[in-house]
């Protein structure tokens, strides 16, 4: 039995993992004792992380659609068909008639090459990935506020905080290793404030649990700032020395009294004041947030409101402070860093400003207009403007909002190629299916939520003829006339490091168990744990006043409940991996809708009963679970289950700034089946 050091494939924590390999199979996994963040610990998903790799359902051969069925094809046939189809559509309808969706489950090198494939190969900036559905508001808001859209400190530094505000993050379930550091801080005496409509495990352990009505975050965050300023708890010295725009925010929040915010959000005035005093008087305060903040039509403003809070209290640039967006996928940070975004190249270089640099580097002309975001691509497909799509390691049929509309859009396409490790709801609609190598079967790097660039290593061969996406992307690039003769993933990283300042000093020979935290601009640079210690990349940080706006769809007489969607500890996203992992599938085998005891009584629903949840988009049928973790008027549906897809219910209403859809608020109703 061999043991191979790699990085966990699930959430953004980026834990060190050792895979146990014997006779070409993954026999188990265990934690990496010396990993700087996980330190020999793992969550239950991590312990079971190798199991899906050898699942019999793995895609083994390229498949090409023949009417209603798929037939086995050679790689040559599948790739030449893919390249020719995308090229033909580009020639007929213009280059922007095609698009590429890359994968936050892929490596940095793969995302870089797929981004290059879209831009240099297909001549379109229509390239995006799942960050659009999770932390696009973080990238947008924090790039404006700080000049860098990433977690500002290391995960382990949370243990040294005095006060931690946890907003819209079920941390013990979604990021267990981050939760372990939050609990360590708590054991050291730190105060925890959890803001979440649901009574999560962390909420039960917190000093203060505030339960806002979903979609009212700006109101209560502004009220916290109001109290902090009113009681002179803000850090005037820091504000003067390192920020701009405080005055406008001070004026804007002057009317945001706790009474006013209480009326909107339903949080008691006294609790808001208490929270403001705890956070405002902390020597080292940190804010941890996730999808509960971003997945709103005001997602970008929500993040800015939190940025205003940490700036006003001077809680940034020091250990134990900062703003901590928790990334959901193990490499969603990296996919953003690699420029799998329609308006940015790798290193967050704007398409409009840096085109020449990339034209020179890649020796080809590049498109000048920013492309479409993920959901805009689907809308364009519905309108017939986008005709060809290459989806790599994503399952939009399950993960994008309003699956009925997603289906319609994908059906409108002339050509759809999907590259994945398992058959999914999306591969079913494809014209070409390309089998990919899993994380255990390839080399590359992942970048975790704390900006730690770490290696994954090939521990065994891919099943059948499956190939790493790096080879697939290189092959397609060459077929589209762009030289792409990469001998290894390390070689791709060498190219990335010349084009992206943050990764300038990242070379495979430097990536040991500690990895490197970006920015790491040069070979001798040790990497950066805490961002913005001396200055911000934009010089001075920027406040921006934000106002409360109601969600796109409010509960009403017809649909009286507010539906939120999210994850469970035991499953990951669309369940392609975790539902093929025996213990995880056994732990949570079926979907349930969580409903409060009050609502259940009113609607005469008992726990375990089958119910139908409906919104204006669609309906699903699943079991009800009556739990006091839900506040009255709210229901919660997990996103992992194809038999009751939560996204049949959600809408494609977007945040105008970051184009993220509002997953967290939909008006819904529920009835007995």
Catalog residues that contact another protein under the rule CB under 8 A: 1-5, 16, 18, 20, 26-34, 40-44, 46-47, 51, 54-56, 172, 176-177, 179-180, 183-184, 186-187, 189, 201, 204-205, 512-513, 569, 582-583, 586-589, 608
Tokens representing 190? 């730190």
* Residue (258 or 575) nearer to another protein, CB: 575
Q: Using H for helix, E for strand and C for coil, what is the string for 596-662?
A: CHHHHHHCCCCCCCEEEEECCCCEEEEEEEECCCCCCCEEEEECCCCCCCHHHCCCCCECCCCCCEC
How many angstroms separate the CA atoms of 524 and 510, rounded?
10
- Closest distance between another protein and the C-beta of residue 188, in Å? 8
Residues 6+ apart with CB under 8 A from 241: none
Q: What is the dihedral of CA 528, 531, 533, 538, to 10 degrees?
A: 120
- Closest distance between another protein and the C-beta of residue 180, in Å? 5
- Closest distance between another protein and the C-beta of residue 545, in Å? 38
Residues 6+ apart with CB under 8 A from 255: none
The answer to whether the CB of 341 falls within 8 A of the CB of 127 is yes
Residue from 430, 445, 443, 398 nearest 577 by CA? 398
How many residues are recorded in the chain? 673
* Residue (138 or 330) nearer to another protein, CB: 330
The answer to whether the CB of 102 falls within 8 A of the CB of 335 is yes
- Closest distance between another protein and the C-beta of residue 153, in Å? 20
The answer to whether the CB of 278 falls within 8 A of the CB of 163 is yes
23: left (phi over 0), alpha (psi -120 to 50) or beta: left
Residue position matching structure tokens 């990339």: 358
How many angstroms separate the CA atoms of 28 and 22, rounded?
9
* Residue (79 or 206) nearer to another protein, CB: 206
How many angstroms separate the CA atoms of 271 and 609, rounded?
36
C-alpha distances out from residue 134 to 151, 293, 563, Å: 14, 10, 17
How many angstroms separate the CA atoms of 266 and 639, rounded?
27
- Closest distance between another protein and the C-beta of residue 27, in Å? 5
* Residue (248 or 513) nearer to another protein, CB: 513
- Closest distance between another protein and the C-beta of residue 52, in Å? 10
- Closest distance between another protein and the C-beta of residue 4, in Å? 8
Phi, psi of 512 (to 5 degrees): -90, -155
The answer to whether the CB of 337 falls within 8 A of the CB of 347 is yes
How many angstroms separate the CA atoms of 660 and 265, rounded?
22
How many angstroms separate the CA atoms of 229 and 277, rounded?
10
- Closest distance between another protein and the C-beta of residue 519, in Å? 24
Phi, psi of 357 (to 5 degrees): -55, -45
* Residue (71 or 513) nearer to another protein, CB: 513
- Closest distance between another protein and the C-beta of residue 32, in Å? 6
- Closest distance between another protein and the C-beta of residue 415, in Å? 32
* Residue (185 or 267) nearer to another protein, CB: 185
- Closest distance between another protein and the C-beta of residue 561, in Å? 25
* Residue (295 or 568) nearer to another protein, CB: 568
* Residue (180 or 399) nearer to another protein, CB: 180
* Residue (57 or 259) nearer to another protein, CB: 57
* Residue (29 or 115) nearer to another protein, CB: 29
Three-class secondary structure of residue 36 per DSSP: coil
* Residue (14 or 347) nearer to another protein, CB: 14
How many angstroms separate the CA atoms of 176 and 47, rounded?
12
* Residue (551 or 566) nearer to another protein, CB: 566
List 17's β-bridge partners, or say none: 6, 31
How many angstroms separate the CA atoms of 163 and 275, rounded?
10
- Closest distance between another protein and the C-beta of residue 446, in Å? 15
* Residue (364 or 514) nearer to another protein, CB: 514
Residue from 18, 671, 672, 46 nearest 330 by CA? 46
How many angstroms separate the CA atoms of 433 and 418, rounded?
5
* Residue (43 or 104) nearer to another protein, CB: 43
* Residue (512 or 597) nearer to another protein, CB: 512
Residue from 374, 387, 375, 388 nearest 335 by CA? 374
How many angstroms separate the CA atoms of 550 and 35, rounded?
43
- Closest distance between another protein and the C-beta of residue 600, in Å? 17
**490 CB-contact burial (10 Å; exposed 0-12 / middle 13-18 / buried 19+):** middle
* Residue (41 or 60) nearer to another protein, CB: 41
- Closest distance between another protein and the C-beta of residue 454, in Å? 11
How many angstroms separate the CA atoms of 567 and 581, rounded?
16
Phi, psi of 345 (to 5 degrees): -85, 180
Residues 6+ apart with CB under 8 A from 360: none
- Closest distance between another protein and the C-beta of residue 440, in Å? 13
Question: CB neighbours (10 Å) of residue 149?
Answer: 24
- Closest distance between another protein and the C-beta of residue 19, in Å? 10
- Strand 98-101 and strand 388-392: the pairing is parallel
How many angstroms separate the CA atoms of 85 and 4, rounded?
39
């Amino acid at each position: 039995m061999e043991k191979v050091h790699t990085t966990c494939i699930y959430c953004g924590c980026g834990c060190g993992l050792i895979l146990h390999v014997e006779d070409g199979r993954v026999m188990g996994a265990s934690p990496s004792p010396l990993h700087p963040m996980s330190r020999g610990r793992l969550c239950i998903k991590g312990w079971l992380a190798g199991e899906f790799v050898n699942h019999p359902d793995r895609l083994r051969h390229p498949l090409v659609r023949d009417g209603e069925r798929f037939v086995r094809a050679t790689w040559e046939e599948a790739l030449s068909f893919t390249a020719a189809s995308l090229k033909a559509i580009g020639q007929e309808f213009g280059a922007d008639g095609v698009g590429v969706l890359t994968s936050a489950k892929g490596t940095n090198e793969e995302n870089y090459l797929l981004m290059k494939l879209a831009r240099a190969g297909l001549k379109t900036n229509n390239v995006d990935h799942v960050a659009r559905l999770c932390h696009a508001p973080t990238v947008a808001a924090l790039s404006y506020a700080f000049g860098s859209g990433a977690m500002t400190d290391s995960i382990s530094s949370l243990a040294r905080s005095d006060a931690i505000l946890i907003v819209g993050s079920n941390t013990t379930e979604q990021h267990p290793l981050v939760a372990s550091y939050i609990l360590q801080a708590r054991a050291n005496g730190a105060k925890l404030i959890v803001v979440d409509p649901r009574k999560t495990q962390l909420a039960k352990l917190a000093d203060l649990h505030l339960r806002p009505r979903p979609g009212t975050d700006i109101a209560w965050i502004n009220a916290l700032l109001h109290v902090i300023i009113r009681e002179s708890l803000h850090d005037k010295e820091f504000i003067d020395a390192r920020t701009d725009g405080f005055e406008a925010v001070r004026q804007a929040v002057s009317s945001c009294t706790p009474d006013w915010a209480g009326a909107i959000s339903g949080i008691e005035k006294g609790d808001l004041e208490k929270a403001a005093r705890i956070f405002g008087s902390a020597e080292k305060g940190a804010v941890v947030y996730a999808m509960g903040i971003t997945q709103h039509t005001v997602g970008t403003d929500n993040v800015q409101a939190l940025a205003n809070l940490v700036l006003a209290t001077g809680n940034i640039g020091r250990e134990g402070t900062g703003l901590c967006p928790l990334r959901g996928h193990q490499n969603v940070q990296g996919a953003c860093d690699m420029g799998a975004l329609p308006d940015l190249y790798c290193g967050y270089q704007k398409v409009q400003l840096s085109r020449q640099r990339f034209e020179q580097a890649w020796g080809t002309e590049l498109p000048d207009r920013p492309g479409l975001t993920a959901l805009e691509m689907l809308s364009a497909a519905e309108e017939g403007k986008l005709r060809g799509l290459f989806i790599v390691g994503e399952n939009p049929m399950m993960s994008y909002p309003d699956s009925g509309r997603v289906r319609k859009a994908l059906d409108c396409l002339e050509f759809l190629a999907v590259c994945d490790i398992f058959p999914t709801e999306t591969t079913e609609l494809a014209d070409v299916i390309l089998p990919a190598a899993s994380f255990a079967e390839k080399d590359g790097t992942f970048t975790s939520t704390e900006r730690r660039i770490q290696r994954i290593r090939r521990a065994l061969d891919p099943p059948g003829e499956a190939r790493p996406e790096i080879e697939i992307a290189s092959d397609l690039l060459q077929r589209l006339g762009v030289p792409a003769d990469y001998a290894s993933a390390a070689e791709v990283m060498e190219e990335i490091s010349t084009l992206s300042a943050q990764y300038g000093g990242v070379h495979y020979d430097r990536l040991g168990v500690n990895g490197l935290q970006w920015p790491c601009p040069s070979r001798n640079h040790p990497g950066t744990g805490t961002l913005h210690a001396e200055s911000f990349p934009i010089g001075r940080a920027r406040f921006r006043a934000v106002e409360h706006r109601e969600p796109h769809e409010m509960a009403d007489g017809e649909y009286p409940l507010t539906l939120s969607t999210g994850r469970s500890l035991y499953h990951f996203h669309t369940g392609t991996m975790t539902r093929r992992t025996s213990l995880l599938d056994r732990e949570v085998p079926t979907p349930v809708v969580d409903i409060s005891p009050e609502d259940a009584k009113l609607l005469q629903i008992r726990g375990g009963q089958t119910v139908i949840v409906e919104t204006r988009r669609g309906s699903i049928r699943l079991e009800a679970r009556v739990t006091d973790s839900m506040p009255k008027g709210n229901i919660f549906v997990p996103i992992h289950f194809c038999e009751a897809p939560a996204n049949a219910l959600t809408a494609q209403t977007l945040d105008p700034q970051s184009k993220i859809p509002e997953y967290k608020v939909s008006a819904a109703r529920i009835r007995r089946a």
